[in-house]
Structure 1
Amino acid sequence: MAWSSSEAQRYKINYDTTTFVEDNTAGLGIVIRNSEGHALVSLTQQIPLPATVIETEALAAWRAMELALELSLEDIVLKGDNESLFKALKNRGRSLAQHGHLINDILFLSSFFTTFSVSWVRRQCNKLAHSLARKAKVLPVMTVWMGDIPPDLVSVFQADLSSLP
């Protein structure tokens, strides 16, 4: 089938985090793939360590949404491995939890997409995003790879591709 501009492209956005307690920082990792599984963009970013794990995960999800908007994507699936965050986003209700403002911000950003959904994934299906988050330890400045991933993570990317449904 030939490419058609009338067909919407669905982008899958995996995000994950890791903490570097000794440095009082956390790492965010994001990879955006097209519907064939190819990497459109990947990102690693170091941030000050939030108070809780769910806040760290919510900040990664928020950054992933912001990146998708910067790229003018319209149809996205946001995928993470934190079940509590997944449930909060799936519920789409206003949250009064300590991290509720982040949930509310993510849901507000979702209104800018034509289609938005969330998906919970197992940790083993989120290895590339997690590896990108760990990379923030050695790359303290936000780093973005357009149309690519870091060369040292190619084997992780290939393993992730083989685990895609």
Structure 2
Amino acid sequence: MKGFEDIMEELFDMLETKEVEEFSLLSQKIWTRRNDFVFKGAFTHPNMLMHHSLLLLQEFQQAPQGVYKLNWDASVDKLHCKVGVGAIIRDWEGSVIATLRINRDLYPDPLLAEELAALRAVIFYKDLGLKKVIVEGDALQVVKRIQKLEVDDTCFGMFISEIIETLASFDQWSVNHIGRDCNKAAHALSKDVLGVIDVMIDLEKFPQCIHSFVKAINKV
């Protein structure tokens, strides 16, 4: 009689890599759901379980070998006129290479904040000497303006111009829009830094504020 490990080995041999990743992540989520129900009395609908699993998998979708993924986001503190910038770089195996957190005094306009965050993220990437990048953010308007190389004489256009100029210095680049649920690590970084002064950089490690997001995918 075949054991569980034998059955799973045969199953994985039949599935594509993406299907194995989805199965593994969903299995982990099901086990977590069971524990939450037993020990906390919390119930998660199965449909939501699948939805969250696929979103998490999309967030940490691996880049082609030799290409790094750069996710950015911004948070705004309107009361104190501050903007938090968050960026995370992962390699083609999904490992965190570096993170950036910046707290800046700035007029708290959401679009302006997102453009500043995108600019500081790509400059950070360039300063690390990396040459191939997939840039991802959840600010659709900013992503579209970069993709269309849309520049004007406003302060918004100036940021976009600098972003495009920096991207042009790379050997390979692309900019993609992703949903907010797929950009949680970068958002957590941008929000965390609002309570900190100046700049915080972590290389080949990641700060406590994104441990839950990174650990979740590492269990796949």
Instruction: Settle same-fold status: TM greater than 0.5.
Output: yes
The one-character-per-residue Cα deviations of 1:20-55 (angstroms, maximum 9, x if unpaired) are: 112210100000111111110001110112352111
Per the alignment, residue 3 of structure 1 pairs with none
TM-score (norm 2): 0.66
Per the alignment, residue 131 of structure 1 pairs with 188
Higher helix share: 2
Per the alignment, residue 94 of structure 2 pairs with 37
The one-character-per-residue Cα deviations of 1:100-124 (angstroms, maximum 9, x if unpaired) are: 0111110111111000110101000
Cα gap change, 1:101 to 1:158, in 2 (>3 Å):
same
Kindly indicate whether the alpha-carbon contact (under 8 Å) linking 2:76 and 2:108 is maintained by their aligned counterparts in 1: no
SS in 2 for 1:43: strand
Between the aligned partners of 1:142 and 1:38, the Cα distance in structure 2 is 22
Verify: 1:68 aligned to 2:125, yes or no.
Answer: yes
Q: 1:20 aligns with which of 77, 84, 107?
A: 77
Kindly indicate whether the alpha-carbon contact (under 8 Å) linking 2:104 and 2:198 is maintained by their aligned counterparts in 1: no
The within-5 A match list for 1:1-165 is 9-159=66-216, 161=217
5+ residue gaps in structure 1?
A: 1-6
Kindly indicate whether the alpha-carbon contact (under 8 Å) linking 1:19 and 1:49 is maintained by their aligned counterparts in 2: no
Larger deviation, residues 138-147 vs 71-80: 138-147
> Structure 1 vs Structure 2: percent identity of aligned residues?
25
Cα gap change, 1:42 to 1:52, in 2 (>3 Å):
same
5+ residue gaps in structure 2?
A: 1-63
Kindly indicate whether the alpha-carbon contact (under 8 Å) linking 2:189 and 2:209 is maintained by their aligned counterparts in 1: no
Higher strand share: 1
Matched letter for residue 117 of structure 2: A
- 1:156 is displaced (CA, Å) by 2.1
- 1:148 is displaced (CA, Å) by 1.0
SS in 2 for 1:12: strand
Larger deviation, residues 17-26 vs 79-88: 17-26
Between the aligned partners of 1:152 and 1:76, the Cα distance in structure 2 is 24
Cα gap change, 1:77 to 1:23, in 2 (>3 Å):
same
Kindly indicate whether the alpha-carbon contact (under 8 Å) linking 2:192 and 2:209 is maintained by their aligned counterparts in 1: no
The one-character-per-residue Cα deviations of 1:85-136 (angstroms, maximum 9, x if unpaired) are: 0110111233345400111110111111000110101000100000000111
TM-score (norm 1): 0.87
Cα gap change, 1:25 to 1:90, in 2 (>3 Å):
same
Between the aligned partners of 1:134 and 1:94, the Cα distance in structure 2 is 28
Matched letter for residue 43 of structure 1: L
